[in-house]
Chains A and B, each alone.
Chain A
Amino acid sequence: MQTRARLTIPILALVVLTGCAIKGRTPEGLAADYGVRIAKTVGAAQEAVGAVGKASTVPAVRAGAVKALEGLNTVNVLGVQLADKLDAISQARGAGSETSGLVQQAVALIDQIDAAVALGVLPQIGDLPETRAALEAARAISKLILEIQFHLGRTA
């Protein structure tokens, strides 16, 4: 009896986990999940860069902070476009239409976000003092981009 009770819980857990794995989210849902995390991380990076820029009296540092913020805003603009694209993919999937073209466009947007972080944000943040938090946030964005590429790439 006790053995049966001890076996029941792991078996139930296995059934539920298998069910979750079978169901999962759609690739665009997973991408949006990571998109929200990227947006929040961008927000944190902005705050950190903004704080450094506002606190500094050195013109070069303030200019660097503005450049980094401009780079981050490119990420925001592309992020909104990516959300629209994911919405289009979701609707097309719901209607049973072809999604591969839209997915390719979304992947291209993600590549642009990655480039904006690597070229427009990281160098600027790296030049600033006391920007560890912003730098870590920007690196975290790059890691999240890898995840989003992985999940969205499943449908490409």
Chain B
Amino acid sequence: MNPNVLVTIQTIASIAAEANVAVGVVFGLIKAVRDNWPFNAGETPIPDAELIAIMRAEFQKNSDRNARLIAEIEAGV
């Protein structure tokens, strides 16, 4: 194969790889800015109150499940 063609293919592949990485980085940055922009209304992706409510619900769910598990073990289920 003509060496010039090889060099052209390598150049195109290299540009494509760089462009791919650049697109990934740009999309990552856009997402990071959208989720964490420090100068907007100050909203976090999940507000603290909601996160605390999720935490409470998870522990409560565990408690209910725990009671059932103990009952099942004691009953020999």
Contacts and interface: CB of A to CB of B under 8 A. Distances in A.
A80 B63 contact: yes
A63 to B, nearest CB: 9
Contacts of A84: 56
B73 A65 contact: yes
B62 A32 contact: no
Q: A interface, how many residues as a size bin?
A: 35 or more
Given A54-B73, A83-B52, A13 B59 contact: no
Interface string B51-75: 1111110111111011101101110
Interface in B11-67: 22, 25-26, 29, 32-33, 36-39, 42, 44, 48-49, 51-56, 58-63, 65-67
B77 interface: yes
Q: B interface, how many residues as a size bin?
A: 35 or more
A90 interface: yes
Contacts of B53: 83
Nearest to B28: A13
A16 interface: yes
A36 B57 CA distance: 9
Interface of B: 22, 25-26, 29, 32-33, 36-39, 42, 44, 48-49, 51-56, 58-63, 65-67, 69-70, 72-74, 77
Given A19-B33, A53-B73, 9 more contacts: A9-B22, A23-B37, A23-B38, A25-B48, A29-B51, A46-B65, A79-B56, A86-B48, A86-B55
Interface of A: 9, 12-13, 16-17, 19-20, 22-23, 25-26, 28-29, 32-33, 35-36, 39-40, 42-43, 46-47, 49-50, 53-54, 62, 65-66, 69-70, 72-73, 76-77, 79-80, 82-84, 86-87, 90
